[in-house]
Structure 1
């Protein structure tokens, strides 16, 4: 393999144009100084936020500062990501982070001061004509008010903040630094030390004994630490219960959903609907057993490749063309913006020495979005391009149709646009695939996304719900209790055709997401919403496309659940999940047909 080029050797046409944010360093410095000056102006509002005029002026200034700070921060960090070893941009990134903290501190009085007004005063402000532009902010403050405490209590909770990080920090140290895994034989029979990174590689081995040995070694190791790990997870649950009680929420789950104003029925409905469709998951497991030619399908066989590696060499130029063609159902306007992104320096394409790994879409309000890639000429990179451009176009439409305050969409919505692009790309590729081997490879790739993103994440969400409910009922969460709940869920989700190995009962101990409680359900709802949109767009055409573009243009101008509902995806009903499941069933049927040939 040829050497990774230095940043200076990367051709201009492969780089993003950060000059669209700031023409040069001097322009960045000038804007930085401007923000510093503006921070002095904010202080003048302290103690005066009790009338519509003062609040309107303060909010306007706050927006101006926030917008400029965001732009300074985004530019500095994207420059840093081009080459993380470049000291000048390391320093610029640090400078922008310090400025963000300063801005947060300088403006931190605004919300508590407005919330110290009575409910009647706040309600009157939401209807004041001078504050029409900020009505949503004030309505949201009014909604939050019952859960905001007195100044002294809030100060006390802020001080507890550092302590509340302890479970996550301890888990991170134990999981990433202290846990040592034994050596396992790889396919070549060599002894290799097991690690988090290598674990999936072992599970993707074509040899069952390699998969089994890695699986057993992984969970034996966690089993030795089960008391410590159970105490750590228990501490995290206790922390959630403390905050829910302190802030007057009925439960920890309702507290976590309150921020996005998601009714608990959405969470419960996801679990209930997935339960309905567990027979589909069981059918997929039977098919997996058949394709792997195994007498028994074990938990360590879930990542074993079902087809021979189908080598798809896809250059960046080909990937762009395939993505562009596959998004034809979204109409000319969408593809015009997509083409602009391809042509006008939105994307930083290839790896270079010191460049940040992975991929993301980012940017600042008022300029076009940006996408960082580390493109390789393969299928995965093409799907990454489709995914990140989904995020980028969501931001583009949102920023061009909303005021600054209402443009930022929530995490609940964030994965919908990116996953929809992937769904349409996959649909197009399956339609055009003529080689049965290629078709089987694509079907497997897609079916496994349903298994890992919808079924598995829903199972995680159900586990979190059960353990918090038990703690709220005063039950003890012992290592044995965690393991029993987790094992029983695996039996339920994977079905009777699967050998649910005893070792899997320790898997709860290695899931970092359990320390960001009640978060994983968003993967499953986002994927289901995107699959539902894709099905509607392919079935109905223009009316569904218009609704979807309306969704992209809405940004964060309303609560997430309402934005989706207006666009034709009602996540408070089982319908979007059912639509996603019908797509999953279609994949299984196609795989079964190919298998019987």
Structure 2
């Protein structure tokens, strides 16, 4: 089927944004409220943040300001994300972005004035306790990198401009790219971004899959220069900000925000590239053997081990699976899952102009909203469980913490989501002794959960690190350079086990994570923590589950290292990562063994 336009999508497949605002008048009322609150904060506290009492009183109002603005901005952004072809939705989202920048610029004096005080004043405010402590501790950490007040004000005012590279990327990808249909296996097939990534990459028909990859790549290539220009702007902006704020490198700047060390960052990339590659090459060869392929190409890597065993699932089926699978996390967690379905937290629809992939937005004071496109396979169940992991995480921490203490480091933020995928897989493994079923579940873990986080995103991270090295050295990047880096990264990992057909080198064009700092590597970091914590749950049961739920409630009150320790995982060493890689290798061994037996 051709993708529907947004207006033709059945309402029951879409999310219900009236949970945020029922009418336009309601959101306009909040815009007026937050504008008035900006006036109040500015008039009452500007130039007066020199005592602990004034600092705390100002931050009390600032928390309220952030919550109102978060709601309004979420509403506009979520509405725009499902239809980039709707110019009115895009205009509304951009207008909200400008408003946020204007109001944020006016209140930039808060951070500037607080960090201008002696540490003793800030520490006295922290000693008072309460919901502002985390914010003040983070200000102390950033204090050496704070710029002059007028500079900070200008930077805040320019924040929509700083988002331009990502906006250009999205517009090129989601609004401008129009994929023609293609002919394969004697019939015509429609093609689109999400159709390719969610359907054709997994299609067991070799001619259809490879022709879809060729046509998809041809269309990408037409947009490689504008996409490269957008990315060049992004990385040069980050390099400039790193220099302005006094960091030695762009890596130091981006990792400082995550509260992790360069060693922790490099470890994920280096160890996985070296230690996991042999296992994944063996897995690729297994796929080739099972499907009787003449050669193993980059277009064949997403093939399931047993396509004939993958059942078609309904959305209601996914609900039953997830409710039962995640029941180990408690009745309150299962109730959240029920609410997500009954209250339409999830946008399941496939339509033109909709964002690809999946995400979960969790505005403070409200429930989460999950975007992804339903295609009816078990991979969708795992994806939805993943996004519900984010929802459960932020439901817990938003309820337990101040709004200032919910900005969880990206190094850790993918742990709760990938944990849910593992819990689902372990649940499924317990439901049957059938060998074919067991192989199917294991191959879902390897081919989806671990492949997505330990291969797809990890290789993106390895590529991204080389880009930033170039930029740190004063260089620049263009389409040809980016394709060369990506091609070399893929070749190093897959070796001679996989043929990199033309178009593989354009993989750098396909992910939005490059516009979010050093994000790609954090998927493997989060899954490393989740794998170790899930093993504890399997061994110890309720006590380990309660430790995990305590971690979810903690929000950003701990560093990634501290949060992992709360879950019983020590990420100060390479032990959890090496054990995770060993576990992946063990699953691949078992898949190969079962395949031989069957």
**Into which bin does the TM-score normalised by the smaller protein fall?**
0.7 to 0.9
Is the contact made by 2:414 and 2:526 (CA closer than 8 Å) also made in structure 1?
yes
The 1:443–1:94 alpha-carbon spacing in structure 2 relative to 1, beyond 3 Å, is same
TM-score by length of 2: 0.81
Q: CA deviation at 1:59?
A: 0.9
How many angstroms apart in 2 are the aligned matches of 1:581 and 1:463?
20
Distance in 1 of aligned mates of 2:338 and 2:238: 44
Matches within 5 A, 1:472-551: 472-474=472-474, 477=477, 481-501=481-501, 504-551=504-551
The residue that corresponds to 2:579 in the other structure is 579
1:145 aligned residue: 143
The gaps in structure 2 that reach 5 residues or longer are none
Q: Is the 8 A contact 1:85 1:354 kept in 2?
A: no
Q: Are the structure 2 counterparts of residues 244 and 498 from structure 1 closer, same or farther at C-alpha, using a change threshold of 3 Å?
A: same
After TM superposition, the score normalised by the length of structure 1 is: 0.81
TM-aligned CA distance change 1:309 to 1:106, over 3 Å: farther
Q: Which residue of structure 1 lines up, in the alignment, with residue 311 of structure 2?
A: 312
- The answer as to whether partners of 1:241 and 1:472 remain within 8 angstroms in 2 is yes
For 1:132, which of 129, 133, 157 is the aligned residue?
129
Distance in 2 between the 1:427 and 1:584 partners?
14
**Residue 196 to residue 389, structure 1, CA distance change in 2 (3 Å):** closer
Judging changes above 3 Å, is the alpha-carbon distance between structure 1 residues 388 and 300 closer, same or farther for their aligned structure 2 residues?
A: closer
Residue 268 (structure 1) shift: 0.3
Residues 269-308 of structure 1 show CA distances to partners (whole Å, capped at 9, x for unaligned) of: 1012202222111221121121122242122221334323
1:378-397, aligned counterparts within 5 Å?
379-397=378-396
Distance in 1 (alpha carbons) for counterparts of 2:165 and 2:73:
30
Select between 198-207 and 261-270 the one with higher mean Cα deviation.
198-207
> Highest Rg: 1 or 2?
1
Change (3 A) 1:50 1:313: same
**What is the distance in 2 between the residues matched to 1:78 and 1:417?**
22
Over residues 512-566 of structure 1, what are the superposed CA-to-partner deviations in whole Å (9 max), with x where a residue is unaligned?
Answer: 4434442211222222222222122112323422321221110121223322233
Partner of 2:119 in structure 1?
Answer: 122
Shift of 1:165: 5.1
Which one of the candidate residues 246, 251, 260 is aligned to 2:244?
Answer: 246
Q: Assess if the C-alpha contact under 8 Å between 1:361 and 1:391 holds in 2.
A: yes
Q: Is the 8 A contact 1:241 1:251 kept in 2?
A: yes
Q: Which moved more, 1:468-477 or 1:154-163?
A: 154-163
Contact 1:535–1:579 (8 Å) recurs in 2: no
Corresponding position of 1:401: 400
Q: Deviations over 1:70-95 (max 9, x none)?
A: 45666788899999999x99999999
Aligned pair partner of 2:338 in 336, 342, 347: 342
Residues 528 and 580 in structure 1, CA contact (< 8 A), matched pair in contact too? yes
Distance in 1 separating the partners of 2:135 and 2:444? 42
Distance 2:432 2:39 in 1: 62
Alignment gaps of 5+ in structure 1: none
Name the SS for the 1:294 alignment partner.
coil
Taking the aligned partners of 2:538 and 2:517, their CA distance within structure 1 comes to: 35
Aligned-pair CA distance for 1:238? 3.2
Q: Distance in 2 between matches of 1:153 and 1:182?
A: 48
Structure 1 residues 328 and 498: alpha-carbon distance in aligned structure 2, compared to 1, 3 A threshold = same
Give, in whole Å, the separation in 2 of the partners of 1:577 and 1:329.
Answer: 25
Cα contact 1:84–1:354 (8 A) shared by 2: no
| 28-37 vs 422-431, greater mean Cα deviation | 28-37
Q: Which residue of 1 aligns with 2:42?
A: 43
Deviation at residue 49 of structure 1 after TM alignment: 1.0
Report the 3-state secondary structure (helix = DSSP H, G, I; strand = E; otherwise coil) of the residue aligned with 1:185.
strand
- Cα RMSD, aligned residues only: 4.6
Deviations, residues 207-232 of structure 1 (Å, cap 9, x unaligned): 43444444445556666776776565
Residue 466 of structure 2 corresponds to 466
Partner of 2:590: 590
Distance 1:596 1:537 in 2: 31
Corresponding residue for 1:558? Answer: 558
Deviation, structure 1 residue 41: 2.3
Corresponding residue of 2:264: 266
Q: Which moved more, 1:102-111 or 1:31-40?
A: 31-40
User: What SS class does the counterpart of residue 132 from structure 1 fall into?
Assistant: coil
Structure 1 CA distance for aligned equivalents of residues 321 and 58 of structure 2: 48
Distance (whole Å) between structure 2 residues aligned to residue 367 and residue 179 of structure 1 = 34
Distance 1:350 1:155, change over 3 A: closer
| Equivalent-residue separation in structure 2 for 1:224 and 1:173 (angstroms) | 14
Partner of 2:416: 417
1:326 is aligned to 325
Q: Secondary structure at the match of 2:558?
A: coil
Give 2:193's match in structure 1, choosing from 193, 196, 221: 196
Which structure 2 residues correspond to residues 450-465 of structure 1 after superposition, within 5 A?
A: 450-465=450-465
